[in-house]
Amino acid sequence: MEAAEPEGERSLPTSGAARDYGSVSENQPRPETPTTGAPVRSCRYYVAVAVLCYINLINYMDRYTIAGVLLNIQTFFDISDRTSGLLQTVFICTFMLLAPLFGYLGDRYNRKFIMIGGLSVWIVTTLTSSFVTQSQFWLLLLMRSLVGTGEASYSTIAPTIIGDFFSGSKRTLMISFFYIFIPVGSGLGYIIGSRVASDLGDWRWALRINPILGVVGLILLILLVPNPTRGASDVQDGVEMERTSYLADIKYLLKNRSFVWSSLGVTAMAFVTGALAFWTPVFLSRAQVMQGIKRPCKQEPCDTSDSLVFGAVTVVTGILGVFIGTSLARLLRNRIPHADPLICGVGMLSSAPCFYLAIILAYRSIPATYVFIALGETLLALNWPLLADILLYVVVPTRRATAEALQIMVCHLLGDAGSPFLIGAISDALGKGKADSVILKFRNLEYSFLLCPFVGVLGGLFFLFTALYVTEDRKTAQQLAAGEIQGS
């Protein structure tokens, strides 16, 4: 465990260049573990990763439970597409604004205690949001925004802990396990949310499942997850990395071209996934209403079968995509040093036409739409295990939580914080002043959705730019961690 004082209080090296890049000092004692070098591959670490994966699962289940019952929420509160999009936007805004704070704390204080506090806040606020009444939509918005507090603490810090447990190909494998629960959790959020709302006739019960599972995760986190030394899997024997100022950390990251370009790629990916994840079940439901397959929802409970199917597709394609992405990376890395960002770029560029076809075919064939959605989601899921791995190996260990936080802030600020609201706002704007009809409501959402493939192409190009610099930046980070260089 760490002392109560921040590690930033340690004395810094006198070299200006060393301070800028996170220097190392020789023969410093390790405060948290008696061993040095690579961490011991004990059962304790594997159990800890399993716990972190479980918490990641319920985090993403909660994030998309709202989307799974969005038709019920729109009917219950009688709100427009634009207002509905605020539910995701307020959550993401809190999430991104607090991420830098937790990144700063995560690089300096006890990471386990920070995650325990954040998870506790998440449990309380999620449970509270399930007791809102029809006249309290503002309270639902407030509670969803506070949920972002807990998730910001966990998502910022958990990958850095896994990075300190393992190194090399083992780290890639563990990170893959962790990130596979993003699409799996998202899909289960749709499935469980829609199923509970349908069976119990009240969408609010869907929000009460995740806090129960969260309490189990909190107990497991307290009992089974250790707090490893920062950089334990990267630095050499007798080498302890020194702490630098937050301003120096930011300057270092802004000069790291791989970090900057990959963060822009993640931002585009967040925009696309945020909009599609939030609106696809509603879009598909409106398509079927227009075709006469379903009837419009006038009173809760609504038909949420599209959420069930979309959730199942998300789970399957997520697992498949992460498996393929990890396998491709392990196969190509020895021959192509910049394989990771290349896979991300090709995957995202290839997903854009799939989503375009899914959107324009929805008014003709729902099965064809699901086929192209499945292809697009699989291609996007190639990126999940590689994105965190790229960040971990191009950034020195003592700045990883700050890097995670800065990337989270940027990708949500310009990505999924605004995309659900923007899609809803465009949809409402297209229908302003026109007579409300089933066809018009579908067409408005369809046209606004076409923004996603365009942003997907931009994201693919950003990852290709990352490939130009990732080899050099990775080598620099390794040399800094090993104490071979003191600056640039």
Render pLDDT for 116-163 as a digit per residue (tens, 0 to 9): 988 898 899 888 888 888 888 888 888 888 887 777 788 788 888 887
pLDDT of 22 above 50: no
CA separation for the pair 149, 232 (Å, rounded): 28
How does residue 32 score in pLDDT terms, banded at 50, 70 and 90?
very low
pLDDT of 280 above 80: yes
How does residue 377 score in pLDDT terms, banded at 50, 70 and 90?
very high
Which range among 75-84, 298-307, 452-461 has the greatest average pLDDT? 452-461
CA separation for the pair 95, 156 (Å, rounded): 10
Place of tokens 């199942």: 312
CA separation for the pair 122, 221 (Å, rounded): 14
How does residue 411 score in pLDDT terms, banded at 50, 70 and 90?
confident
The pLDDT value recorded for residue 245 is: 78
CA angle 384, 346, 381 (to 5 degrees): 25
Tell me the pLDDT of the chain averaged across its residues: 80
- Domains identified in the chain and CATH numbers: 42-232+241-482 (1.20.1250.20)
Question: Residue 214 in contact with residue 59, Cβ under 8 Å?
Answer: no
pLDDT of 488 above 50: no
Element (H, E) at 488: none
Q: Which residues contact 320 (CB under 8 A, 6 or more apart)?
A: 378, 381
In this structure, what DSSP letter does residue 295 have? P
Q: What is the mean pLDDT of residues 460-464?
A: 96
Q: Which two structure tokens, joined as six digits, stand for 395?
A: 């950034």
Higher per-residue confidence, 439 vs 316? 316
Whole-number percent of the chain with pLDDT over 70:
84
Sign of the four-CA dihedral 361, 418, 175, 57: negative
CA separation for the pair 272, 279 (Å, rounded): 11
pLDDT of 386 above 80: yes
Predicted structure pTM score: 0.69
Q: What is the mean pLDDT of residues 373-385?
A: 90
CA separation for the pair 270, 92 (Å, rounded): 11
How does residue 219 score in pLDDT terms, banded at 50, 70 and 90?
very high
Which range among 104-108, 309-313, 356-360 has the greatest average pLDDT? 356-360
- pLDDT tens-place string over residues 346-363: 999 999 999 999 999 988
Min mean pLDDT across 188-192, 337-341, 466-470 is at 188-192
The pLDDT value recorded for residue 300 is: 52
Higher per-residue confidence, 187 vs 357? 357
The pLDDT value recorded for residue 297 is: 58
The three-state secondary structure class of 236 is: coil
The pLDDT value recorded for residue 4 is: 38
CA separation for the pair 113, 115 (Å, rounded): 5
Per-position DSSP letters for 412-463, written without gaps between them: IIIIITTHHHHHHHHHHHHTTTS---HHHHHHHHHHHHTHHHHHHHHHHHHH
Nearest to 280 by CA among 94, 477, 91, 423: 423
Count other Cβ atoms within 10 Å, centred on residue 446: 19
